[in-house]
Structure 1
Amino acid sequence: MFFVIERKYVGPSRHQEGHTGFHAFEVSSQPSRYGSSGEVCIDDHCGEENGIVTYAHGEHPSAEAAEAWIEMYMAGLNLDFQEDEELGDGVITRFCVGRYRPISAEGTRNWLYGMDMSDIEADTTNERIAEIVTTIQEGARIDGEEFCEPTLERAFREHRKMLRDESGT
């Protein structure tokens, strides 16, 4: 049997910042479990942990049947299939809700690490920073991803401030 499990980030949790914007349906060879008791959860709200709520949407005779159920359930909601190398705990496939796979604030910061910020100078305007962010997002969207925009903007503004502080302007 295969199980459809929905996971969605629903609220602030300092432990799960990386999941902001996350909403996915997974096909798993293992059923979900109630967070409170650890009992198997087949078709119910299973609980919330660290800002991630989990719902079980039934059992299906094959992975293909589970995927077909997800596609039917999600019709019209911008369902995108996402390959993910980090699937675990029996997860076979993951369908992310939305047009682009969101990259967390932490993932965005990691991407920014070591980035050439020569486009940002002490006199760079907020409008120019917005243009740079837009250009970066357009590139990410080609790959089906989307960076955490506030994290990009904050990093560029902080870099500009550092340059201003160094130059005394």
Structure 2
Amino acid sequence: MKFYIEEIRYCGPDGRTDKYIDFDRFEVTTEPPRTTIFKEICLDGWLGTYDDVARYVHGVYDSLAAAEYAIQNLLGDEYRRDDEPSEFPDVLAVYRPGRLPPMSDETLGIWLQDVDVPADADNAALRRQARDLAIELEDMGVTVSVKRIRECLESLRDDAREELED
């Protein structure tokens, strides 16, 4: 039996939404990957893009352990294996980039509704608050970049400033 690594990556405009935020993955399969258009077996490279989803294959391996080792080399230390089995019988394992699942912009916006952001907060204060919130989110089991949190906090601060002016 041979094992194949197939990378599935969302490349459309909605990548920060709940539906696609944790979409990208690497699957170890026992079925040889086929190109999107001609359905030809392909063992390395781009398989095609359909409906904003690009597919790539990263080689053929003689064992599941060898395929998993190759995924470690592709993703480094920052990956996680899905606990749930795949709905497809030929998919043996699914790996996702990142140590923790990312939080979507929608969910982050909802979560930040309860965060107090003073209208007079300066940029240094927002950077500190963003770092603290990023740590809190990691403790909750999700990740968001400090930069993204800071951008949201700046927006909330600007909204608070506009409310004071009205």
Shorter chain as normaliser: what TM range? 0.5 to 0.7
Q: Could you say what secondary structure the match of 1:4 adopts?
A: strand
Equivalence for 1:14: 13
Equivalence for 1:43: 44
Residues 130-155 of structure 1: CA distance to partner in whole angstroms, max 9, x if unpaired? Answer: 11211122233456642144442232
Aligned with 1:127 (options 124, 143, 161): 124
Unaligned runs of 5+ in 1: none
The alignment yields a C-alpha RMSD, in angstroms, of 3.7
- Are the aligned partners of 1:80 and 1:96 in contact in 2 as well (CA < 8 Å)? yes
Residues 79-109 of structure 1: CA distance to partner in whole angstroms, max 9, x if unpaired? Answer: 53332659554543233445x34626xx133
Matched, 1:167 2:164: yes
The whole-number CA distance in structure 2 between the counterparts of 1:57 and 1:162 is 47
Flag the structure with higher strand content. 1
Deviation at 1:120, TM superposition (A): 0.4
The whole-number CA distance in structure 1 between the counterparts of 2:129 and 2:148 is 13
Tell me the TM-score normalized by structure 2. Answer: 0.68
The whole-number CA distance in structure 2 between the counterparts of 1:166 and 1:51 is 40
Cα 1:117–1:34 change in 2 (3 A) is same
Q: Could you say what secondary structure the match of 1:33 adopts?
A: coil
Equivalence for 1:156: 153
Q: Could you say what secondary structure the match of 1:146 adopts?
A: coil
The whole-number CA distance in structure 2 between the counterparts of 1:87 and 1:125 is 47
Equivalence for 2:95: 95
Aligned residues: 162
The whole-number CA distance in structure 2 between the counterparts of 1:88 and 1:156 is 39
- Are the aligned partners of 1:27 and 1:94 in contact in 2 as well (CA < 8 Å)? yes
Residues 5-30 of structure 1: CA distance to partner in whole angstroms, max 9, x if unpaired? Answer: 12456x6x314445579764321344
The whole-number CA distance in structure 1 between the counterparts of 2:122 and 2:51 is 38
**Higher mean displacement: 15-24 or 147-156:** 15-24
**Higher mean displacement: 25-34 or 78-87:** 78-87
Cα 1:17–1:113 change in 2 (3 A) is closer
1:107-126 equivalence runs, <5 A:
107-126=104-123
Residues 65-87 of structure 1: CA distance to partner in whole angstroms, max 9, x if unpaired? Answer: 5324434xx08933533326595
- Are the aligned partners of 1:5 and 1:54 in contact in 2 as well (CA < 8 Å)? yes
Identity of aligned residues (%): 22
Unaligned runs of 5+ in 2: none
Tell me the TM-score normalized by structure 1. Answer: 0.67
